[in-house]
């Protein structure tokens, strides 16, 4: 009975952590996948590339709020508990996601349409700044001994599930609807899912226990009243490592799994449905590999997987982009799947690695700010920079250089990491 109860408790914990990430990343990916459509509806221009760049710029603006959200929810999580921070963040995301689906377009209300879109993306960015990292801290702090890598990978699996849901939904709706219907009302359907996921997430999180590590701090009256101040006073090295490791994930994820779908559609002339189908298949591969690599990191450590993923990206990114851009479905799919395999090891174990770097009293603040700041600078702007690099150089494989640079820096930082897989949480 005790074993069954423990399994039920762990399952509930994992679901509570995952559900918010499903919603957060579903919306962000849907926006990225529909960027060309939203660009024409909210930023009309005679040049389709200009509309696309403006649409990606709004995508980037939402990310500017992530560091602010990280500070806010990092403080709430360290001061008042992970559970409270998670409950607030999912409400904000559900409301803003649904509201985007209700927005009038530029043709209906003029300049007010893009203004409202920007405001809603700012609210989403604030929410995302606290959701993902707090959920990782929540899940890993609940993890049984010897399974932190696996549990941490499940946290990011929730994000991948949201991405996969967004990608599959986009592929499905672009396949069944004629283009006229897609532009007039079909795109809105993808955003209305937010309210359903939000209600489920809110209910689950209101009925879940706080983490043992935070309760321990509360019991011993060791809650840090100034976690952000103490973070930068005592844990600067840990913060810097978190920043540069997260930079690779930011650039890698948004280049490979958000930008490339538009790359295939706009620059390689794939039909939208085919581009989204390729992305969906690669995300399925990623989803299968993430828990495997999380489990593997509990056996062999976090550091070997970090060095493998970053090192191989430096070597393979440009050849893979060339193969991706050949123009045929099979080549593009193969290249995208190889990209998924390469980055899966890094994405799977980075969450647990960064949780293990910080002590409990400043963990949420350190992880949230150190992770979200590079996402604001390098992640949200990755599709915009990738598109601009092509426009600047005339080389459709130019985005690979951005990816290689981020991977190289993360590889150097990875060499300096202390292995933490077998050590207890601080």
| pLDDT of 39 above 90 | no
Give me the helix-helix angle, 2-33 and 187-206, nearest 10°: 150
CB atoms within 10 A of CB 407: 25
Between 66 and 329, name the one with better pLDDT. 329
pLDDT of residue 171: 74
Looking at residue 164, its pLDDT comes to 75
The residues, ordered by sequence, that sit 6+ positions from 229 with a Cβ below 8 Å of its Cβ are none
Residues with Cβ within 8 Å of 310's Cβ and at least 6 positions away in sequence, in order, are: 248, 346, 407, 408, 410, 411, 414
Residue among 19, 357, 10, 1 nearest 212 (CA): 10
What is the C-alpha to C-alpha distance for residues 262 and 277, in angstroms, rounded to an integer?
Answer: 12
Give pLDDT tens digits for 203-257. Answer: 888 778 888 888 888 777 778 888 899 999 999 999 999 999 999 999 998 888 8
**Residue 399: count of CB within 10 angstroms of its CB:** 28
Report phi then psi at 423, rounded to 5: -95, 150
pLDDT tens digits along 271-280: 877 887 888 8
Lowest mean pLDDT, pick from 23-27, 103-107, 210-214, 369-373: 23-27
Give me the pLDDT at residue 5, please.
46
Three-state SS sequence of 11-55: HHHHHHHHHHHHHHHHHHHHHHHCHHHHHHHHCCCCCHHHHHHHH
Q: What is the mean pLDDT of residues 12-19?
A: 77
CA distance 114 to 137: 35
**How many helices (H) does the chain have, and how many strands (E)?**
20, 0
> What CATH fold (topology level) applies to the domain 2-416?
Growth Hormone; Chain: A; (1.20.1250)
Could you tell me how many residues make up the chain?
Answer: 426
Other CB atoms within 10 Å distance of the CB of residue 412: 10
Residue 357 and residue 234 in contact, taking contact as beta carbons nearer than 8 Å: no
Query: Which tens digit of pLDDT belongs to each residue from 67-91?
Result: 899 899 989 989 888 888 888 888 8
Q: Which two tokens stand for residue 307?
A: 């060095």
pLDDT at 8 over 70: no
Whole-angstrom distance, CA of residue 386 vs CA of residue 254: 10
Cα 157 to chain centroid, rounded? 10
Q: How far apart are CA 190 and CA 170, in angstroms?
A: 7
* 299, pLDDT greater than 90: yes
Give residue 197's pLDDT.
76
Residue 22 vs residue 307, higher pLDDT: 307
pLDDT digits 0-9 by tens, 165-218: 877 787 788 788 887 888 878 888 888 877 777 788 788 887 788 888 888 887
Q: Is the dihedral of CA 231, 232, 238, 243 positive or negative?
A: positive
Q: Where residue 148 falls among pLDDT bands split at 50, 70, 90? A: very high
Grouping H, G, I as helix, E, B as strand and the rest as coil, residue 397 is: coil
Q: Which residue has the tokens 């851009």?
A: 325
Inter-helix orientation angle 2-33/35-42, to 10°:
50
- From 424, 296, 409, select the one nearest 355 (Cα to Cα): 424
* pLDDT confidence of residue 9: 66
d(CA 308, CA 248): 13
Q: Which residue has the higher pLDDT, 407 or 28?
A: 407
Answer whether residue 33 shows pLDDT above 50.
Answer: yes
Q: Average pLDDT, stretch 288-308?
A: 94
Give the angle subtended at the CA of 242 by the CAs of 241 and 244, to the nearest 5°: 65
pLDDT range class, residue 304, cuts 50, 70, 90: very high
- Cα–Cα distance for residue pair 90/24, rounded to 1 Å: 8
Q: Report residue 40 CA to chain centroid gap.
A: 25
Cβ density class 259-273: b for 16+ within 10 Å, e for less: bbbbbbbbbbebebb
Q: Is it the case that residue 143 has pLDDT exceeding 90? A: no
Residues 312 and 316: their CA atoms lie apart, in Å, by 6
Q: Considering the chain, what is the average pLDDT of its residues?
A: 85
Residue with tokens 């995508």: 59
pLDDT exceeds cutoff 50 at 2: no
pTM: 0.81
Tell me the CA distances in angstroms from 235 to 232, 239, 303, 367, 370, one per residue in order: 6, 6, 20, 11, 11
206 to 4, 199, 259, 278: CA distances (angstroms): 22, 11, 35, 37
In this structure, what are the phi and psi dihedrals at residue 110, rounded to the nearest 5 degrees?
70, -140
Task: Please determine, for residue 34, whether its predicted confidence score (pLDDT) is greater than 80.
Answer: no
Is the pLDDT at 155 greater than 60, yes or no?
yes
């Amino acid at each position: 009975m005790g074993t069954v109860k423990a399994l039920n408790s762990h399952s509930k914990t994992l679901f509570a952590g995952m559900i918010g990430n499903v919603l957060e990343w579903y919306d962000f990916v849907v926006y990225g996948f529909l960027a060309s459509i939203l660009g024409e509806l909210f930023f009309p221009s005679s040049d389709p590339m200009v509309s696309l760049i403006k649409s990606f710029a709004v995508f980037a603006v939402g990310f500017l709020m992530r560091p602010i959200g990280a500070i806010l929810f990092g403080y709430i999580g360290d001061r008042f508990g992970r559970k409270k921070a998670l409950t607030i963040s999912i409400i904000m995301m559900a409301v803003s996601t649904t509201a985007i689906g209700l927005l009038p377009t530029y043709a209906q209300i003029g300049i007010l349409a893009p203004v409202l879109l920007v405001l809603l993306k700012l609210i989403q960015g604030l929410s995302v700044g606290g959701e993902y990292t707090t959920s990782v801290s929540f899940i890993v702090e609940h993890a049984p001994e010897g399974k932190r890598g696996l549990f941490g990978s499940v946290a990011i699996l929730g994000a991948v599930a949201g991405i996969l849901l967004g990608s599959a939904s986009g592929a499905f709706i672009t396949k069944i609807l004629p283009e006229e219907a897609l532009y007039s009302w079909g795109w809105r359907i993808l955003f209305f899912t937010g309210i359903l996921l939000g209600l489920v997430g809110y209910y689950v999180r209101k009925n879940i226990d706080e983490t043992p590590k935070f309760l321990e701090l509360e019991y011993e009256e060791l809650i840090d009243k100034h976690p952000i101040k103490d973070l930068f006073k005592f844990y600067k090295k840990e913060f810097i490592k978190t920043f540069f490791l997260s930079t690779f994930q930011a650039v890698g994820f948004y280049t490979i799994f958000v930008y490339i779908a538009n790359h295939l559609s706009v620059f390689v002339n794939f039909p939208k449905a085919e581009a989204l189908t390729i992305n969906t298949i690669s995300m399925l591969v990623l989803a299968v590999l993430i828990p495997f690599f999380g489990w593997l990191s509990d056996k062999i450590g976090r550091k070997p997987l970090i060095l493998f993923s970053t090192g191989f990206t430096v070597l393979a990114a440009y050849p893979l982009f060339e193969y991706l851009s050949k123009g045929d479905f099979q080549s593009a799919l193969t290249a995208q799947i190889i990209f998924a395999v390469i980055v899966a090891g890094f994405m799977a174990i980075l969450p647990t690695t960064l949780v293990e770097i910080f002590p409990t009293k400043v963990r949420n603040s350190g992880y949230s700010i150190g992770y979200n700041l590079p996402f604001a600078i390098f992640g949200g702007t990755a599709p915009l920079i990738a598109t601009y690099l092509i426009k600047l150089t005339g080389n459709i494989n130019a985005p690979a250089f951005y990816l290689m640079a981020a991977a190289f820096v993360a590889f150097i930082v990875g060499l300096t990491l202390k292995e933490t897989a077998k050590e207890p949480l601080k």
